[in-house]
Amino acid sequence: MNAPEKNHKEGPISRADNPGGPQVAVPADQPATGHPARAGAAGHSHPHESARAQVAGSATYVDDIPEVRGTLHAAPILSTVAHGRLRGIDTTAALAMPGVRGVILARDIPGDPLLATFVHDEPVFATDKVEHVGQVIGLVVASSAMAARRAARKVQLNIEELPPILNVRDALKAESYVLPPVFVKRGDAARALRDAPHTLSGQLEVGGQEHFYLEGQVAYVLPQEQNQWLIYSSTQHPGEVQHWVSHALGISNHAVRVECRRMGGGFGGKETQAGHMAVWAAIAANKLKSPVKLRLDRDDDFMVTGKRHPFAYDYTVGFDDTGRLQGLKLMMAANCGFSADLSGPVADRAIFHSDNAYFLEDVDIASFRCKTNTQSNTAFRGFGGPQGVVLIETILGDIARHLDLDPLDVRKRNLYGVNERNVTHYQMKVEDNILDPLLSKLEQTSGYRKRRSAISAWNDQSPVIKRGVAITPVKFGISFTATLFNQAGALVHVYTDGSVQVNHGGTEMGQGLNTKVAQIVADELGVAFADVLATASDTSKIPNASATAASAGTDLNARAAQYAARNVRDNLAQFVAGLDSCGAGAVSFAGGMVSSPKGSRPFPEVVRMAYANRIQLWSDGFYRTPKIHYDKTTLTGRPFYYFAYGAACTEVAIDTLTGESRVLKVDILHDVGTSINPAIDIGQIEGGFVQGMGWLTTEQLVWNDKGQLSTHAPSTYKIPATGDIPEHFRVDLWPEANREDNVFGSKAVGEPPFMLAVSVYEALRDAVGAVKAGKGPVVMDAPATAENVLKAVGLH
């Protein structure tokens, strides 16, 4: 929900000025930093490059691509049992259905029957056993999608049921793991806990989350000549789709080309999961020698694909009379589902972010990666970070209640310091710390102290409706924790009319990556934003590209594109310097003009002259993130290039008779460095917050005792709707550039705002705590559904 462009030029606005949207405070001309107005494209709120096409319905997604004659459609055959031995598959009834062209099973895989995942533990199709309800056993291929789906339900499966493991606690008892446990220690937590004046122990359960992208999973596979393949995939990682498909077909990577112009949302759910669709469709296309499209309907998408990892925690914390942490012993157990997928790095990042913004001096963390008979959980915005942050914020909230202190004071007392108390439990120094001034600023601008007093007075006279308020910070590390993925490439082409095309390895999923890349390239060449076109991600143009994930899409790809554009600019500068007898450094590019001490020429004119003189007008660019290093065996080092910071103040109300809740007010102060595009960044902050709010309030995944996901459609799985958005929703941007040398001085903005929504959960617990006087912890699992709120109220 990008804020209207006018909001970013006219200064702070109120809801009366903009009744259709949230309150967004923005200084004139340069809302991101408070700097004077900037020339050029970057630093301004240009509309998303596809916005008009999307509104008009002319933006092309995979399912909109005109189908080649002879295209067939596939639908998955799904296991109906959570755990069992697959004794037989009867496809007779399915093959007799109208329009059916064939059934695809494991025997039809020409290459490796296991997917090319990191752990190599997931079959392409189930063979001798099934491990969750919804596991794909094969495909039915027909002349239409509906014919294929109807026929898939006619396949008869003979499955001998086995006892399933359906939750983390049972997996821990059975020592059922997809990966070995990981342990991280610093200091002597046992001694610190013994010596602490106060201790608290507890447990917490935090649920998963369905990605619920607007565009579901889809792949369209077209056989080409000489056993080559073209794949249109809605994917965050075209290179991985290429690798997975070639692996399954038993051919080389260079024979598979993957293209993705845009996705209708991803949120991590199309990082690995999109590869499954492409592999399945490619195997069908290979057998039937026809183009094949596989598009899951929403129910099947829920049943087949992984979600955010649910977590369970046991903890004991020690602290002094002021609330300062002295020791922490923590057990984190991730529900990984039936295979590893990305669970290792997700659980690692949960460890990294179990401190959030706070110094942990003596800490002992045990991380278990549990195998259950559910969908294989996967990447989701924050990638384990939210599961670390919510736990430490829960602990600090309960410490404040135990000591009868203001939770914000306890949080501020435990913040990382500057030049002291500034090394994380994984041995990375926090060098760019703005936590204390940022929190203090939000405390002042949100009127936190005054509102807290007013809420206390309200609660004293209101027996049914209770209110709560909380401020929580975020410190989120930016970079892939797997160091090798922190690299990117790009191509910039300048055509003889002066127009520019840029291609890079990132993917556009609505987050504005292509818009930001085009802004950076435009400024590097000194041309108008409208003169730069970003094109579809394509493995035949940029090979071996990393996933667009870890919030690093702009950091990596915009910098690579900037370097490519700089190479072209340098070629042109040297050419003009030769014409005008000056140094290349004296040639400048701005406002569509190329200037030297002898005069100025329009950029298109210089380009035409350079072409006539055989000057190269295209170039590649490559970037790798500096400074980072990480030992994955000890989980120590500098896994992150920098941290992004933020804080949110949220006010809520609960109905103590029904458990219903509502978010009343939200004030956010977030650090995006020098914003490349303030409107897009604010849209990301708003969207991330609301998605995080859904995770912690309404979005509940429920499996029954047979392992069947009961909440597999919008009728039973509730994401936030327009009516859930608070009327007061204010976003301010922290006015400081990134202290590290990042593109345009910006910071990543995709994932960090998600964790600002932990303030919603803490405000709800604050309201529950107001029901009954006392110093006990508020016991409430997440999400804080009406049932969980009511249960928590009953415990107080």
Q: Which residues are catalytic?
A: 751
Query: Distances in Å between the alpha carbon of 358 and those of 202, 236, 313, 415?
Result: 19, 32, 18, 4
Contact (Cβ atoms closer than 8 angstroms) between residue 363 and residue 327: yes
Contact status, residue 184 vs residue 425, Cβ threshold 8 Å: yes
Cα(174)–Cα(180) distance, integer angstroms:
14
With contact defined as beta carbons under 8 Å apart, do 672 and 478 qualify?
no
Q: Which residue type, as a one-letter code, is found at position 648?
A: A
Helix (H, G, I), strand (E, B) or coil at 681: helix
The helix/strand/coil state of 388 is helix
CA of 220: how far to CAs of 247, 250, 446, in Å?
Answer: 18, 19, 49
DSSP string, 286-304: HHHTS-EEEE--HHHHHHH
Give the integer Cα–Cα distance in Å for 522 and 534.
11
CB 239 within 8 A of CB 213: no
- Could you give the 3-state DSSP secondary structure of residue 62? helix
Give the 3-state secondary structure of residue 519: helix
Q: Which two tokens stand for residue 472?
A: 């929580």
What separation, in Å, do the N-terminal and C-terminal C-alpha atoms of the chain show? 39
Q: Which residue has the tokens 């914020």?
A: 393
399: its two tokens: 């410490």
Q: Which of 768, 754, 607 is nearest to 686 (CA)?
A: 754
Q: How many Å apart are CA 318 and CA 507, to the nearest integer?
A: 45
Contact 145, 99 (CB under 8 A): no
Helices marked H in 432-552 — which ranges? 435-445, 448-461, 513-525
Query: DSSP letters of 124-136?
Result: SS--SEE-STT-E
Alpha-carbon dihedral 714, 715, 718, 720, rounded to 10 degrees: 70
Nearest to 621 by CA among 506, 717, 452, 456: 506
Query: Long-range contacts: 727-730, Cβ < 8 Å, 24+?
Result: 727/15, 727/664, 727/665, 728/15, 728/23, 728/664, 728/665, 728/666, 728/667, 729/22, 729/23, 729/665, 729/666, 729/686, 730/22, 730/23, 730/24, 730/25, 730/666, 730/667, 730/668
Q: Six-digit token pair at 241?
A: 């789709």
Query: Residue 132, Cα to own-chain centre: how many angstroms?
Result: 25
**Tokens linked to 24:** 């967004």
Helix (H) or strand (E) holding 280: helix 273-288
